[in-house]
Structures are given as structure tokens and as C-alpha cells.
Amino acid sequence: MTCEAWQTKLDAYADAELPAETMRSMAEHLSGCPACTAELVQIIQQKRVTALAGKRYSAPPELRARIRQQIEAKPARGGWQWALGLALAAVVVIGLGLAIVLPSRTAARNRLIAGVVDSHITALASASPVDVVSTDRHTVKPWFAGKLPFTFNLPELGGSPFTLDGGRMVYLDSRPGAHLIYGVRKHHLSVFILQDGGDFSRLLPTAAEPWRSLSFNVTSWSAGGLRYFVVSDAAPEDVSALAELLKRAN
């Protein structure tokens, strides 16, 4: 079986739902395949985060039971099988704690940021990028009232190079938020404002940090329970300047 075929079974494997024979062959494949093991660790990690949301750092007994089951399921023919089982258990446990979780966190954060950049690109590419077309923040802000479970302030732009084009609703990380589109010279900037929490607070910093994703400059920060993103193909200085205006307004 190819790794691709194995990986379609990983989810069921993590729940110990495969037939005993397949459970055994999977364990055997995992002991020699770092790619599938890394995938498995990520699946287990996700299940754990979901199942134990709110109970941070408590031991995952179902994982321990699963590992024990795997080890005990192996016929005690030779020491090497125990060694294999223990090696797999060690890989999973170390992966959960340290080695594999760190790179997968970075990957998850990059995916999150790529999703934000996608929303920026998709909106600008659409026929009507904004649902409320107005250059007046006193028109745009109330448009979101009743649509979002939070309020926010938009900055006064007088004396700045920025213009407000309007706003639309956005969904990021399965939560609703405000998407404001600004202009600076020939460029557009997206501002996303959502409630902080979940993957946002888990993967992103509190203080504004600049990133480059594809050819876009991105910055994100958290303040007053809200998560802010600014995305643009404009210069990083423009992205930071708009971020500063937003910070001062809130």
C-alpha cells in the first residue's frame, strides 16, 4: 500500500476503529514511515485539542490506552516487536510534547495566515468586493451592528494617505468578522477584525508581527479581546501605518 492509501486510514487508526489486522499492519508501516507518523501525530493532536478544549495539559488517557493496546496486540514472539511498539509509542509521545508539534504549529500558523491572504485576494477579485460601499466610517461601522457579536472603532483618516472603500462580512477560522477595505495610492489593504481565541490566540502573537505570505505583507495583533489583521501588496510601511491608526482608534 502507498503512503497515500495509508493516510486515508489514519483517522480511523487514531480512533482504533480499523480491523485488528489492519491496525497491526498500520503500526508496522508507521514504525518505518516518518511522513505517516507525522500525519498521525497531527491527527491525534487535533482530536486531543478538540476533545480536551478547556482542559489544557491534562493527560490523554485514550492515547495511552491505544498505545498499550497496540503493544499488547503484538504477539510476544521476539523482543524486537516490543522494541518497535515502544519506538512507535516514543515517537508519538515525543511528537505530542515537542519535536513534531513545533513544526506543525508553524505549518498551522502559515495555513491560518494563507487563509487570511486568500480572503483578501478573493474579495478584491470579486465583482463587488464590498457589501457596504462608503468612504465614511460613520456609515460603515453601524452597518456591522447586529451582524457581529462585538463592536470596534475605525480610525479617522484625515491627514493620512489612506481612504476607506467599504466593508463586508468575512468568515475566518469559522468565526464571523468585519472585513474593511482601504486604499493607499494604487494599492488596496484589507483589515480583518474578529473575536480573538481558538487558533488565533494559540498560533498568533499578541503584539503586531509582520509576515510575508506570497507577495503580500501581513501583520496581526490582539487587543481588547479582538484579533486584527492587515493584509496588502502595499509596502510594509503602509501596512504598519494603517495598523497603528487602528490601534490608536481602539
| Interface positions with Zn ion (CB under 5 A) | 3, 6, 33, 36
Least Å from the CB of residue 2 to Zn ion: 8
CA–CA distance, 182 with 189 (Å, rounded to integer)? 5
SS3 label, residue 219: strand
Q: Which is nearer to Zn ion, 37 or 219 (CB)?
A: 37
Q: What is the DSSP string of 80-92?
A: HHHHHHHHHHHHH
Least Å from the CB of residue 5 to Zn ion: 9
CA-CA-CA-CA torsion for 117, 122, 124, 128, nearest 10 degrees?
-150
Q: Which is nearer to Zn ion, 3 or 249 (CB)?
A: 3
Least Å from the CB of residue 39 to Zn ion: 8
Please compute, for residue 167, the number of CA atoms within 13 A of its CA located in the half-sphere on the CB side: 22
Q: Which is nearer to Zn ion, 107 or 235 (CB)?
A: 107
Q: Which is nearer to Zn ion, 33 or 93 (CB)?
A: 33
Least Å from the CB of residue 98 to Zn ion: 22
Q: Which is nearer to Zn ion, 37 or 232 (CB)?
A: 37
Q: What is the DSSP string of 176-194?
A: EEEEEEEEETTEEEEEEEE
CA–CA distance, 196 with 200 (Å, rounded to integer)? 6
Nearest in space to 73 (alpha carbons), one of 7, 43, 47, 65: 65
Least Å from the CB of residue 3 to Zn ion: 3
